[in-house]
Structure 1
Amino acid sequence: MPTFAIAFPTIDPVAISIGPLAIRWYALAYIAGLLGGWWYARALVRRPGLWSGAGPQPTQTDLDDLLVYAALGVVLGGRLGYVFFYNLPHYLAQPAEIFAVWKGGMSFHGGLVGAALGVVWLARRRGLSVLTMFDLAATVAPIGLFFGRIANFINAELWGRPAPNFPYAVVFPGAGPVPRHPSQLYEAFSEGLLLFVLLALVVRVAGFRRPGLVAGAFAAGYAVARSVCEFFREPDPQLGFLFGREVSALEGGVTMGMLLSLPLLAAGLFLIWRALRREPLPAGGRGAAA
C-alpha cells in the first residue's frame, strides 16, 4: 500500500459556462500558450542585441501573423497527427469523427509539423530566414507545452502508470482505484519549465546569430524529455506498447511517443551540429531568406 496517495482534486473541466457556451480549461490552455508565446516573442524582437548578425529580423507585424499561422498549424497538424499515428483504424471506420475535436485527441508531434509548415510559409512570404524563425518559435514553444500539460492534468487524461508505492501518486477518476504517477505534471516541468529555461540560456549566450541552434536545442531537448516521461506515462490504450514489455515503473516497452521522438532527436542534433560549424549570418535587412 502507498504511504501517501493523493485523491484527484475536484476540478470542473469547464472553466467558464455562459448559457449554452462552455469554455474548457483545455481551450484556455491553448489560448494562454499562444498568447504567452506571442508576448515573449515580441519582447525578444525588441532586443536588437540578440539579432546582431542574425540576418533579416522579423517585425512586430510578422509576429502578429505568425500567431495565426502557428495556431492553425498546431490545431490542424495536432489533430491529423493523432488521427494517423494514434487511432487510424477508428477514424477510417468513422471518418466524420475526424472533425470532432471537442471529443479530444491531439498529437504534439503532429502539431509541431503543422506549426513548422506555418512558419515556413510565413518566412518565405516575408523574405525571412526560415531557420531563424524556427529558432524564435522554438524559444516560446515551451510556454504552450507547459499550459497544455497542466490542462491534461485538470482533464484527468493521459495519466501515468500505476505507482502503488510512490508517496505522491494520484488516484485519477476513470483510471481505477490504483494510484498513478502524475505524469502530466512531470511533462509540464520537463517539457515546459525546464526546456524554457534551457532555451532562454541558449538565446542569452548565442542570441539568434546561429540559425537553427535554438530550434535544434528545442527538438533534441523535447525528444529526451518526452522519452523519459514516457517511462512514467500510461501508453495510449488503443496502442499499448509498440514492442517490448513493461517490467516496472522505470522500465517498459517502446511507445508511440518514444518512436515519434527519435526523428525529432536526430533532426535536433543535426541542426545543432550545423549551426555550430557555420559562421553566423552577416547582419542585414529584410533581404534574401536563409
Structure 2
Amino acid sequence: MPMLAPPMFALPFPSIDPVLIELGPFAIRWYALAYVAGLLLGWWLAKRLCASPGLWGGRAPIKPEEFDDAVVWIAFGVILGGRIGYVLFYNLPYYAEHPLEALTVWHGGMAFHGGFLGSILAMYLFCRRRGLPFVSMLDIAATVVPIGLFLGRLANFINGELWGRPSDVAWAMVFPHGGPEPRHPSQLYEAGLEGLLMFTLLMLAVRAGGLKRPGTVAGIFVFLYGCARIFVEFFREPDVQLGYLAGGWLTMGMLLSLPMLALGSWLVWRARHRPALDVRPA
C-alpha cells in the first residue's frame, strides 16, 4: 500500500490507561470491564424483554428466571468460542507451535465470529436441556448483543488496538503502536455501526412485533452484522499475521462475515413464512 502524506492536523490519540484500577498484582482492565458490563446490561434488558408480554402477543415463551440460568451458559460460550475462533481463524500456525499460549486469554486475542458460534452452541444445549424454544432464545440474545459490541469496540479503542488503515481524513489518529502514519479510528466506526445503529434497528424490529415470529430479530442481527463488518473491513487494518487474502483486498473478517448475509436472509425469510408464535395469554 502506498504511503500517504500526513494531514496538516491529525487528532491526538487520547491517552487513557488500559488499566482502570491496579492494586498490586490485581488489575481491572477496561477490556475486561467492557465484557462484564455488556453481559450485565444485556442480561438486564433480556429479562425485561421476557417480562413484556406485549412484545410477544402474550406471555413470553421464556421466563425471566430461565434467562438467569441461560446467561451463564452464554458467557462461557462467548469466551470459549471467541478464544477458539481466534486461535483457529487468525493465528493457527503460532498456536500450533505454542499450544499453551492458547490458554493465556489475558494476553488478548478474541474473535467475534468464534464467540458468535460458541454462544449459539451454548444456547442450543441450554434450550435442549430445559425444553425451551431455541429460536426465541436467539431472538432475545440478538437484541442485546449490540450492547456488548459497542462497549467492546470502545475498549479496543482505549487499548489502541485493531486500528484502521492509513488515511488522510481530518479525523485520522496516530495510534501508539500503529506506526507514525495517521489511521482511521475504525474501532469507533464499529462501535457506531455494530453497536449504536444495530441496537436501534433491532429495538425498532422488536417494537414492530419481531419477537412474535421467531427468527426475525436473530436474522436481522446476523444480516446487519455481516454488512457492518464487511463495510468496516475496508477501513480496518488486517491482522499482521494474515494480511490481505485473495486479490490483495479481501480480509479474514470479510470472509467470515459473507456467510452471515446468507444466513441472516434465510432466517428472516423462514420466519416470514411460518405461523406467528403460539403463546399463552399473559
What TM bracket, shorter-length normalisation? Answer: over 0.9
Residue 220 (structure 1) aligned with residue 223 (structure 2): yes
**Pick aligned residue for 1:198 from 201, 217, 229:** 201
Task: After TM superposition, give the deviation of residue 127 of structure 1 in Å.
Answer: 1.6
Tell me how far apart the structure 1 counterparts of residues 145 and 263 of structure 2 sit (CA, whole Å): 17
Tell me how far apart the structure 2 counterparts of residues 53 and 118 of structure 1 sit (CA, whole Å): 27
**Pick aligned residue for 1:128 from 124, 132, 153:** 132
SS in 2 for 1:237: coil
Judge conservation of contact 1:53–1:281 (CA < 8 Å) in 2: no
SS in 2 for 1:17: strand
Moved more, 263-272 or 119-128: 119-128
Q: Scaled by the length of structure 1, what TM-score is found? A: 0.93
Tell me how far apart the structure 1 counterparts of residues 129 and 280 of structure 2 sit (CA, whole Å): 17
1:151-162 equivalences under 5 Å are 151-162=155-166
SS in 2 for 1:9: coil
**Pick aligned residue for 1:3 from 5, 8, 26:** 8
Task: After TM superposition, give the deviation of residue 43 of structure 1 in Å.
Answer: 1.2
Residue 31 (structure 1) aligned with residue 26 (structure 2): no
Judge conservation of contact 1:220–1:265 (CA < 8 Å) in 2: yes
Q: Which runs of 4 or more aligned residues in structure 1 lie more than 3 Å from their structure 2 counterparts after TM superposition?
A: none
Tell me how far apart the structure 1 counterparts of residues 184 and 205 of structure 2 sit (CA, whole Å): 31
Residue 180 (structure 1) aligned with residue 176 (structure 2): no
Judge conservation of contact 2:48–2:64 (CA < 8 Å) in 1: no
Residue 12 (structure 1) aligned with residue 17 (structure 2): yes
Tell me how far apart the structure 1 counterparts of residues 123 and 276 of structure 2 sit (CA, whole Å): 21
SS in 1 for 2:11: strand
Aligned to 1:288: none
Residue 76 (structure 1) aligned with residue 72 (structure 2): no
Tell me how far apart the structure 2 counterparts of residues 232 and 106 of structure 1 sit (CA, whole Å): 20
Residue 276 (structure 1) aligned with residue 276 (structure 2): no
Aligned to 1:48: 53
Tell me how far apart the structure 2 counterparts of residues 210 and 266 of structure 1 sit (CA, whole Å): 19
Tell me how far apart the structure 2 counterparts of residues 61 and 18 of structure 1 sit (CA, whole Å): 36
Judge conservation of contact 1:146–1:188 (CA < 8 Å) in 2: yes
How many residues are matched? 276
Judge conservation of contact 1:78–1:109 (CA < 8 Å) in 2: yes
Task: After TM superposition, give the deviation of residue 53 of structure 1 in Å.
Answer: 5.8
Moved more, 7-16 or 146-155: 7-16
Task: After TM superposition, give the deviation of residue 279 of structure 1 in Å.
Answer: 1.7
Q: Scaled by the length of structure 2, what TM-score is found? A: 0.95
Tell me how far apart the structure 2 counterparts of residues 3 and 130 of structure 1 sit (CA, whole Å): 54
Unmatched segments (≥5 aa) in structure 1: 246-252, 286-290
Aligned to 2:254: 258
Moved more, 272-281 or 227-236: 272-281
Percentage of pairs with the same residue: 59
Judge conservation of contact 2:143–2:199 (CA < 8 Å) in 1: yes
Task: After TM superposition, give the deviation of residue 207 of structure 1 in Å.
Answer: 3.9
Aligned residue identity for 1:110:
G
User: Pairwise CA RMSD of aligned residues?
Assistant: 1.2
C-alpha offsets along residues 216-265 of structure 1, whole Å, 9 cap, x if unaligned?
000000000000000000000000011122xxxxxxx1100000001111
C-alpha offsets along residues 267-286 of structure 1, whole Å, 9 cap, x if unaligned?
1000000011112022249x
Judge conservation of contact 1:53–1:280 (CA < 8 Å) in 2: no
Larger RCO, structures 1/2 (Cα 8 Å, 6+ apart): 1
Tell me how far apart the structure 1 counterparts of residues 56 and 132 of structure 2 sit (CA, whole Å): 13
Tell me how far apart the structure 1 counterparts of residues 261 and 82 of structure 2 sit (CA, whole Å): 19
Tell me how far apart the structure 2 counterparts of residues 59 and 135 of structure 1 sit (CA, whole Å): 14
Tell me how far apart the structure 1 counterparts of residues 277 and 139 of structure 2 sit (CA, whole Å): 14
Tell me how far apart the structure 2 counterparts of residues 147 and 98 of structure 1 sit (CA, whole Å): 24
